[in-house]
Amino acid sequence: MLRFGTDGVRGLANEELAPEVVLALGRAAAGVLGQPSPAGNPGPTADPAAEAGATAGGPTPSGGKPLFILGRDTRRSGPLLQAALAAGLAAEGADVIDVGVMPTPAVAYLAAERGVPAAVISASHNPYWDNGVKFFSAGGAKLPDEVEDVLERELKAIVAGAGKRARPLPTGEAVGAIADDPGALARYERSVVACLGGRTLEGLRVALDCANGAAWRSAPEIFAAAGAEVVAVLGAQPDGTNINDHCGSTDPRALAKAVVSHGADLGLAFDGDADRVIAVDATGNVVDGDRLLALFATDLGERGLLPGRTVVVTVMTNLGFHQAMASAGVKVHTVAVGDRYVLEALDANGWALGGEQSGHIVFRSLATTGDGVMSGLLLADLVARRGEPLAPLAAASMPRLPQVLRSVAVADRHALAGAREVWEEVRRTEQVLGERGRVVLRPSGTEPLVRVMVEAPTEDEARAAVDRLVDALRTSLGEPAH
């Protein structure tokens, strides 16, 4: 049975994530998340002519039925699973607006625009054969743990056929309708450009890598609309199987070459669903999420736009970031890995900025979730405002302790908490490092892996410690069957 991780549910498409299970998930979501759409809220219509003449708000009202927005990335299995999810929702009487291929933050924007829940069929940075479903509550916020627990229990009950239905299945006009919204992507693109507050990127040369994913069309259009000269676009020919394949934020090597060969001022690499970004400076060096966040925190702090002078990060953030923020007079609040935990801390405290080393960056006053294209646009704006190349800005943003990160495939990642030998090795390593470094072990929330991270005064020391921890993990948790 599917289990919710740090970002919805994921699995091998058409096996763990079979269409019949996704249909059941749609039925569960209709009951747990579905509420009648607010008065005047646009919903689907079965009239194609009405669709063609729809206003910027989208299709015509749905008559008080629950309303969901569905989007997906470019994976081969996306249409299959999106159809299954839409069918499950409609079978329970919910109307559905299917917006097709759309960045995850665009779907969140549309959910906020309409005040309704939404879902995205995507496995983010995973290879194409995986897929997943992530939900947003009404208004575009990611689901808290307790809501996901309820949704998971409801899914299990539906799959098992447990209990009797409280009401009969809807029939006739009570069955949900499924329609599209042709203007959705354009509205999202305008909202992202608007974050510049009227400033333009005129004179800035930018290269983009869209990971053959959900932003393959919108990212170049947004940067062009903002006035940048887009000198190269990579990863913009999705075929269903090449998403994240040697491209995008998980592999920016091709982008680095393109930046140098085209003389770009900077490059930006997005992941498959475009909620994260990694940058490349004009010399071809990668600028990761830690440095991007340090740049944004310092810049916002200097401009008086950082509420509480606080930035939210995860346990994976480099110690050098903490040192840089201390020097800048910015407080750092640390949470568990997962951008939804960053968001929860931002919302609970009224803070405005947070993010992860992987490139998830959240500008809470501008969006309800991390948006890679928006973050990239704001980085370009920062470079343009400062009148200085990205390379020296990034180098000065923070020192960096050598950090070694390894993903270890194990037979049972859920057994990590009780692996006594592993935690004894962690304790020994921490005693040796003292305050000169640190160790982080955590099971992946989306893949059968355990993440191992060690920071140390030298890279050799960090690598040696990681090797010992990996050996302990494989001994205690076993290696996966092949």
Band of the pLDDT at 58, cuts 50, 70, 90?
very low
Enclosing H/E stretch for 156: helix 145-160
Domain ranges of the chain: 9-182, 188-397, 403-477
Amino acid identity of residue 312, one-letter, is V
37, 122, 124, 397: which one is catalytic?
124
What number of CA atoms fall less than 13 Å from residue 199's CA on the CB side? 15
In the predicted model, is pLDDT for residue 56 greater than 80?
no
**pLDDT tens across 269-289, in order?**
999 999 999 999 999 999 999
Angle, helices 19-33 vs 145-160, to 10°: value is 130
**pLDDT tens across 233-262, in order?**
999 999 999 999 999 999 999 999 999 999
Give yes or no: 124 in active site: yes
Strands (E), 5-50: 9-12
Highest mean pLDDT among 208-212, 340-344, 436-440, 450-454: 208-212
Whether 188-397 and 9-182 are alike in CATH topology: the answer is: yes
Compute the distance between CA of residue 429 and CA of residue 408 in angstroms, rounded to an integer.
Answer: 18
> The domain 403-477: what is its CATH number?
3.30.310.50
Band of the pLDDT at 136, cuts 50, 70, 90?
very high
Q: Which CATH number fits domain 188-397: 3.30.420.40, 3.30.420.10, 3.40.120.10, 3.40.50.20?
A: 3.40.120.10
User: Radius of gyration over alpha carbons of the chain, in Å?
Assistant: 23
In the predicted model, is pLDDT for residue 37 greater than 80?
no
Mean per-residue pLDDT of the chain = 90
> The domain 9-182: what is its CATH number?
3.40.120.10
CA-closest candidate to residue 289, choices 305, 307, 313: 313
